[in-house]
Amino acid sequence: MSHPLFEKHRTTLDSALNAIRTRGYWSAYPEMPSPKIYGETAQADGKAAYDAQLGREFALDQPGRGGAVKTECSPYGIALDVSYPKCEAQALIAAGIAAMPGWQAIGAEGRAGVCLEILDRLNKRSFEIATAVMMTTGQGWMMAFQAGGPHAQDRGLEAVAHAFKEQAEVPAEAIWEKPQGKNPPLVMKKHFEVVGRGVALVIGCGTFPTWNTYPGLFAALATGNAVIVKPHPNAILPAAISVRIAREVFAAAGLDPNLVTLFVTDAPAETQALAQHPAVASIDFTGGNVFGEWLYAHCRDKQIYAELAGVNNIVIDGTDSYKGMLKNLAFTLALYSGQMCTTTQAIFVPAAGIDTPEGKVPFDQVAADLGAAIDKFLADPAVATAVLGAIQSPDTLARIEQASRGGFGGEVVLASKKIEHPEFPQAEVRTPVLLKCDAVSESSWMEERFGPIAFVVKVADTNAAIALSERVVCERGALTVGLYTMQQSVIDAMTAATWRSKVALSINLTGGVFVNQSAAYSDYHGTGGNPAANASYADSAFVANRFRVVQRRYHV
């Protein structure tokens, strides 16, 4: 008999399975914060629920409690003053291990059903979670709602669908009968049990605390593992709300809520110790290269799914829509102040300029026109604050100031400006920095400069640009690469280069789709084939190594 939550959400799961097979557009969770969809009072209720968390201790009944932690500081200059229970890592691990047998016992269908119930309840709390995402990360409201709410939930559902599909390939039992000639056949009955690998550790980032956390969280849960969520010290609240909702669903389903726990710390040594614990079988991490490389070096016995820094880039050979290209690039560079793992940093332009129907546009003119397009796009403060959001980290603010002074080398085409936010006077809002330099100045542009910092890089010609793009991806990693051209031969050459370097390619984007956006169920976010990411959120490989099949057999 199927688990009741599996039957409740079976239509949603079937639709997700169809979506990952066909790769067309589909979404389980509406991305527009419309009162007609979520209810007339949903936004006010969500804001009230968020406000109720401020200035107090976050209620989360977990084992190993030994004090409280308070570390968040809003990029909008708003005092959060939320404290979180600090729990001993060993207590959380022991509790997770104890919870796993019951989780295994309900099978793949039961786990999928419970995970889908968690996602359904997360969706109903999208306004509360979105406000928490906005205030901890600096995202603008619409991005916080979409990326922090429905899009993150879609990524979680996508992981559940892949996990269910992989486990469904394993039969529960089989009769094995081997003929023996004139003698009676050998007959055995065999049972195959899907077993989680062990405790999973999911380490969140400070800019996308749900979008980058839900895939690993739900992939690990759906394959039978207990999960410890370790959020970034400055983006705890969205993760804490998510964990509490999951624990409530587990308890309501008669399961041990310690299948998901929250580990809060601002001490890197404590996170490192947890990552190295023998009971931790897998680690999901999104963040900087320093800690990511530490994980690779010191946690070799774990399965690591990591998304690290890279140098995303675009090659411009030509375009039949010069203004459309500039508008698209301006939005790309401005969105959330470039604080996305998919935002373009290097734009390769031939020294002789680019082809357009109106003739060649010189290199310097391309750079100047892009700077002007960014300036024009952000001229309206209301548009600028909504698109840019606020700067999440003091380190990013320092990089912006350094880049605006030409501190990374190159000539400043467009310096960053501070914009006053009408609603949040203390918000750190900055416009992008645009620089130009020669390709040989690799120390300037060939290192990730996280934040709204981009370089227009002069290359010898289009062939050199394609070769350089490929080398950068292979050596430094990238999640996104773009191309603008009017020539099929250039498209073919760039396509081949991205196959070799294993990176996603966007061609001639001039409309409402941008290189730094990724659609659940359709786009493969990451390929696992270059240094920026060792796995893709959107394929079976992301889930397949999170469980094992253990058999038992006997003669019939």
Q: 311-367, pLDDT tens digit by residue?
A: 999 999 999 999 999 999 999 999 999 999 999 999 999 999 999 999 999 999 999
Residue 40, pLDDT score: 95
Residue 113 has pLDDT above 80, yes or no: yes
Residue with tokens 């320092």: 398
Phi, psi of 260 (to 5 degrees): -135, 125
Which of 303, 321, 338 has the alpha carbon at shortest distance from 414? 338
The reply to whether CATH 3.40.605.10 applies to domain 4-308+536-555 is yes
Q: Which two tokens stand for residue 101?
A: 């047998």
Residue 299, pLDDT score: 97
Residue 86, pLDDT score: 96
Q: 442-463, pLDDT tens digit by residue?
A: 999 999 999 999 999 999 999 9
CB 265 within 8 A of CB 86: yes
The pLDDT > 90 percentage for the chain reads: 99
What is the pLDDT averaged over residues 156-160?
Answer: 98
Query: CB atoms < 10 A from the CB of 94, how many?
Result: 16
What is the pLDDT averaged over residues 193-204?
Answer: 97
Sheet holding 453-459, edge to edge: 411-414, 433-438, 453-459, 346-350, 313-316, 480-484, 504-507
- Alpha carbons within 13 angstroms on the beta-carbon side of residue 28 total 32
Q: 358-383, pLDDT tens digit by residue?
A: 999 999 999 999 999 999 999 999 99
Q: Could you give the 3-state DSSP secondary structure of residue 250?
A: helix
DSSP characters over 260-314 = EEE---S-HHHHHHHHH-TTEEEEEEES-HHHHHHHHHH-TTSEEEEE-----EE
What is the pLDDT averaged over residues 86-102?
Answer: 98
Report, in angstroms and rounded to the nearest whole number, the Rg of the chain calculated over CA atoms.
25
Q: Could you give the 3-state DSSP secondary structure of residue 179?
A: strand
Residue 234 has pLDDT above 80, yes or no: yes
Sheet holding 173-180, edge to edge: 173-180, 183-196, 547-555
Residue 240 has pLDDT above 90, yes or no: yes
Ramachandran area for residue 312 (φ above 0: left; ψ -120 to 50: alpha; else beta): beta
What is the pLDDT averaged over residues 489-494?
Answer: 98
Number of helical (H) and strand (E) elements in the chain, helices listed first: 21, 19
Report the alpha-carbon distance of residue 112 to residue 13 in Å, rounded. 8
Q: Could you give the 3-state DSSP secondary structure of residue 458?
A: strand
Residue 85, pLDDT score: 96
pTM reported for the whole predicted model: 0.96
Report the alpha-carbon distance of residue 37 to residue 32 in Å, rounded. 8
Q: What is 313-507's CATH number, 3.40.50.620, 3.40.309.10, 3.30.420.40, 3.40.50.720? A: 3.40.309.10
Residue 168, pLDDT score: 95
Which of 317, 345, 310 has the alpha carbon at shortest distance from 456? 345
Residue 2, pLDDT score: 85
Residue with tokens 């959020």: 231
Domain segments of the chain: what residues? 4-308+536-555, 313-507
CB 348 within 8 A of CB 329: no
Which of 393, 474, 470, 402 has the alpha carbon at shortest distance from 435? 402
Neighbour-count burial of 394, counting CB atoms closer than 10 A to its CB (0-12 exposed, 13-18 middle, 19+ buried): exposed
Q: Which two tokens stand for residue 490?
A: 């250039």
- Alpha carbons within 13 angstroms on the beta-carbon side of residue 22 total 9
pLDDT, the chain, mean? 97
Residues in the chain: 556
Which of 84, 63, 117 has the alpha carbon at shortest distance from 246? 117
SS3 for 308-332, per residue? CCCCCEEEECECCCHHHHHHHHHHH
Report the alpha-carbon distance of residue 245 to residue 285 in Å, rounded. 22
Neighbour-count burial of 81, counting CB atoms closer than 10 A to its CB (0-12 exposed, 13-18 middle, 19+ buried): exposed
Which of 452, 447, 484 has the alpha carbon at shortest distance from 465? 484
β 433-438/429-430 pair status: unpaired
